[in-house]
Homo-oligomer: A and B are copies of this chain.
Amino acid sequence: MATPPFPLVLSFLILMSLSSSANSYPPRSSKHAPRFLGKFSHLHQPTDQKYETRYFEQRLDHFSFADLPSFRQKYLINTQHWLGPSRLGPIFFYCGNEGNIEWFAANTGFVWEIAPRFGAMIIFPEHRYYGESMPYGSREIAYKNASTLSYLTAEQALADYAVFITELKRNLSAQACPVVLFGGSYGGMLAAWMRLKYPHIAIGALASSAPVLQFEDIVPPETYYDIVSNDFRRESISCFNTIKESWDIIASKGEENDGLNQLTKAFHFCRKLDSSEDLSDWLDSAYGYLAMADYPYPADFLMPLPGNPIKELCRRIDSCPDGTSTLQRVYEGVNVYYNYTGTVDCFNLDDDPHGMIGWDWQACTEMVMPFASSKNTSMFPEFEYNYADDEERCLKDYNVKPRPTWISTEFGGHDFKNVLKKFGSNIIFSNGLLDPWSGGSVLEDVSETIVALVTEKGAHHLDLRAATDEDPDWLVDQRESEVKLIKKWLQEYYDNKRATFTA
């Protein structure tokens, strides 16, 4: 059950996963390998957004002069409201993350809604090795082995964005137009890192739910599971306890003679479980996703869910008649996640094939995030972080050795407050405390211009979503604070420009 939830959970964002072209590389060597949400592979968001789809010829390796083929990076562009170069119209640039760019565009309504107020151009570029932005001409070749995958790194993606923005501005004679970055989750990490590594490319970044500190020992490895657990405990202690009890019961049941059959039946799987761990992982995923998507109103982000879905899950667990078994309660609860519409007859574990192999590679190379579950504060089974396990799995799966200290060498993290205070500006780290990733992000202001916007009841980059009639006041306020800060960055930029012109 000790599945590090990360790649799976960030890959939460990958609704349009690549499951349809599931690839046989790498062989799955470990049950602890992350799974993916293949079932969410359709774009079911309304897309009234208008954009053109274009492609940019991109260098495969920005940091060497090896003779490699270039690839086409896809991007979506909307210039409808743009003030243009002469009026220094801003460029709003979303740092695409691990999936098809259309899905991120559809789930980042905030950018589309505020762009007209700023006279901003909107650009959504796709991250290399995802969606259509495939090196070597096809996903089959790009994902063939460690050698072809080796340029799937965050630094290359950042350089893609830097080169792309520079060329785009040059082509439009818009060199003086300020760029504002946006990003959620891994995209938020990229947005923040862009600001750190390429401060000359963009004037500021809204990094929503970006766990930039979830590396090495910067935050305790228990953080993620503790937050998920707290999200349940705050709704109901008995609900928390029921879940906490369930793991041992599942494991014991799995060891009984007819146990797997009973578990299969109790949880309405279409096919017989191979092990009780498959069930535990399935539940673990659901709890993590529910914590991320614990939005205050009904939403169809990953799954159609009610508002405050954890409250609903706990209500179902707690309201079972006396004498209901723990397993039955857990089953009733988890239906909120896997079957809220009530249309599912039986569940398939196999809905999540290898679609997200891209993130899996990233987790096996750079994105080495330690996870653990503590005995006392977590509702999950206790486990410690063991890097050796990660390394063994990655060598087996990809023939690649992770670099566990690289991200903080490259982007910092230790002592970040002292570093960023002196060096850096114009970053918003926005987080909702219900989001289990919030613990790995920046939750306090670092300086006057590197600010943390924290909402007690927010979940995973809720602020980036389109406004709804049901938005609570604190969410409306959060978004207005963001707009205000972005305005301030732009105003300062224009003031500086004017001063330079008239100097």
A interface residues with partner B (beta carbon < 8 Å): 61-67, 146-147, 149-151, 153, 155-156, 159, 162-163, 166, 175, 196-201, 203, 365, 400, 405-406, 409-419, 421-426, 449, 492-493, 496-497, 500
Q: Do A163 and B200 contact each other (CB < 8 Å), given the known contacts A61-B63, A150-B65, A151-B64?
A: no
Bound-complex Cα distance A361 to B187 (A): 35
Bound-complex Cα distance A82 to B426 (A): 37
Verify B410–A162 contact, CB threshold 8 A: yes
Q: Do A65 and B422 contact each other (CB < 8 Å), given the known contacts A159-B410, A405-B166, A414-B200?
A: no
Bound-complex Cα distance A423 to B426 (A): 9
Q: Chain B: which residue is nearest A203 at the CB level?
A: B422
Q: Do A199 and B412 contact each other (CB < 8 Å), given the known contacts A146-B65, A422-B426, A423-B424?
A: yes
Q: Which of B65, B203, B449 contacts A149 (CB 8 A)?
A: B65
Verify A496–B418 contact, CB threshold 8 A: yes
Bound-complex Cα distance A493 to B422 (A): 10
Verify B426–A425 contact, CB threshold 8 A: no
Q: Chain B: which residue is nearest A423 at the CB level?
A: B199
Bound-complex Cα distance A323 to B421 (A): 68
Bound-complex Cα distance A497 to B417 (A): 11
* 5 more A-B residue pairs beyond the given contacts A62-B155, A66-B151, A422-B492, with a C-beta to C-beta distance below 8 A: A200-B411, A200-B414, A415-B500, A418-B497, A421-B496
Q: List 20 A-B contacts (CB under 8 A).
A: A62-B63, A62-B406, A62-B410, A63-B64, A64-B150, A64-B153, A64-B156, A65-B149, A65-B400, A162-B409, A196-B199, A199-B412, A199-B419, A200-B413, A200-B423, A203-B422, A418-B497, A421-B496, A422-B449, A422-B492
Q: Do A63 and B65 contact each other (CB < 8 Å), given the known contacts A197-B197, A419-B200?
A: no
Measured between beta carbons, the chain B residues less than 8 angstroms from A65 are 146, 149-150, 153, 365, 400
Measured between beta carbons, the chain B residues less than 8 angstroms from A150 are 64-67
Verify B425–A155 contact, CB threshold 8 A: no
Verify B63–A155 contact, CB threshold 8 A: yes
Q: Chain B: which residue is nearest A196 at the CB level?
A: B199
Measured between beta carbons, the chain B residues less than 8 angstroms from A426 are 422-423
**Most chain B CB within a 10 A radius of its CB, from A147, A199, A409:** A409
Verify A67–B146 contact, CB threshold 8 A: yes
Bound-complex Cα distance A410 to B492 (A): 24
Verify B425–A422 contact, CB threshold 8 A: yes
Bound-complex Cα distance A493 to B418 (A): 8
Verify B153–A409 contact, CB threshold 8 A: no
Verify B61–A412 contact, CB threshold 8 A: no
**Most chain B CB within a 10 A radius of its CB, from A199, A201, A405, A417:** A199
Verify B64–A414 contact, CB threshold 8 A: no
In angstroms, how far is the closest chain B Cβ from the Cβ of A149?
Answer: 7
Q: Chain B: which residue is nearest A401 at the CB level?
A: B65
Measured between beta carbons, the chain B residues less than 8 angstroms from A67 are 146-147, 150
Verify B424–A500 contact, CB threshold 8 A: no
Measured between beta carbons, the chain B residues less than 8 angstroms from A497 are 418
In angstroms, how far is the closest chain B Cβ from the Cβ of A26?
Answer: 13
Closest 5 CB pairs of A and B: A200-B412, A199-B423, A63-B63, A65-B150, A66-B150
Verify B409–A166 contact, CB threshold 8 A: yes
Measured between beta carbons, the chain B residues less than 8 angstroms from A200 are 411-416, 419, 423
Bound-complex Cα distance A425 to B425 (A): 11
Bound-complex Cα distance A167 to B140 (A): 37
Measured between beta carbons, the chain B residues less than 8 angstroms from A155 are 62-63
Q: Chain B: which residue is nearest A66 at the CB level?
A: B150
Bound-complex Cα distance A385 to B150 (A): 38
In angstroms, how far is the closest chain B Cβ from the Cβ of A13?
Answer: 23
Measured between beta carbons, the chain B residues less than 8 angstroms from A203 are 422
In angstroms, how far is the closest chain B Cβ from the Cβ of A77?
Answer: 20
Verify B199–A153 contact, CB threshold 8 A: no
Measured between beta carbons, the chain B residues less than 8 angstroms from A166 are 405, 409
Verify B149–A409 contact, CB threshold 8 A: no
Q: Chain B: which residue is nearest A204 at the CB level?
A: B422
In angstroms, how far is the closest chain B Cβ from the Cβ of A52?
Answer: 24
Measured between beta carbons, the chain B residues less than 8 angstroms from A500 are 415, 417-418
Measured between beta carbons, the chain B residues less than 8 angstroms from A163 are 409
Q: Chain B: which residue is nearest A399 at the CB level?
A: B67
Q: Which of B64, B413, B418 contacts A61 (CB 8 A)?
A: B64
In angstroms, how far is the closest chain B Cβ from the Cβ of A170?
Answer: 8
Q: Do A156 and B418 contact each other (CB < 8 Å), given the known contacts A166-B405, A423-B199, A424-B199?
A: no
